[in-house]
Copies of this chain bind each other. A is one copy, B any other.
Amino acid sequence: MFCQGEIEKKVEKKTVDHSQKESKTRRKPQQARSQERVRQILQVAERLFLELGYEGTTTRAIATQAQIPVGSLYQFFPDKIAILQALGTQYLEQEYQVFAELHGEEALTWPLSVYVERVIDAFDQFYTAHPAYRVVFEQLRRSMPEDSDAIDEEISQGIAQDLAAFLTRKNPTLAADQSKIIGRIVVEVVGTLQWLSLGGDRGFQGAIVEETKKLMSSYLNLYFDPS
């Protein structure tokens, strides 16, 4: 994963502790509070990053709106950037989960139109839940000029790789390079159109989602002729 930063430890520690069976029940409330705070911070940060951008968002603003003192924020995240990273990993994890079922064995048998329908809906669901997705990863890439190899792969391809693998399985005559490009394009295009839809009202959003389905269907038909 791209995020072996310090928060990883912190955040994971919390998570791990939590699943540690609460040996000391007295501990529970504190952990619950911590988890709640981390969630609060990430939620507020997500909104502010979206509204004001990463640099435009101050740690104090995040803390204030999350209703905790700044010091507490730094108890969970060593850095401002760690918050960004935490959002990044969170997104990646959730993205993976959302798409997991769409790439199972049974999905291979779905008609293309059904597959497209479900993929777009999954994206819709995901990006609607995480509108800051794009801002976060754009800033994340900017914030890491060094060793951008592994990171970049991880970040920017994410599910694109899974998608590519799935496409190759679905149509084995497809070259690996071809699949990768297609996967990447699907991800970028759908992501962008979701982003676009977020700026409009509900009617606009629905229209965009419909168009996205048409767009993707007609495109994928080129490679997966349903005949």
Contact = CB atoms under 8 A, between A and B. Distances in A.
Interface in A9-61: 51-56
Contact of A181 (B192, B211, B219): B211
A89 interface: no
A56 B142 contact: yes
A87 interface: no
Contacts of A207: 177, 181
Contact of A189 (B51, B156, B184, B193): B193
A174 to B, nearest CB: 13
Interface of A: 51-56, 139, 142, 145, 152, 156, 177, 181-182, 184-185, 188-189, 191-193, 196, 199, 207-208, 211-212, 214-215, 218-219, 221-222
28 contacts: A51-B142, A51-B145, A52-B142, A53-B53, A53-B54, A53-B142, A54-B55, A55-B55, A56-B142, A152-B199, A156-B199, A181-B207, A181-B208, A181-B211, A185-B196, A185-B211, A185-B212, A188-B193, A188-B196, A189-B189, A189-B193, A189-B215, A191-B192, A214-B219, A215-B219, A218-B219, A218-B222, A219-B219
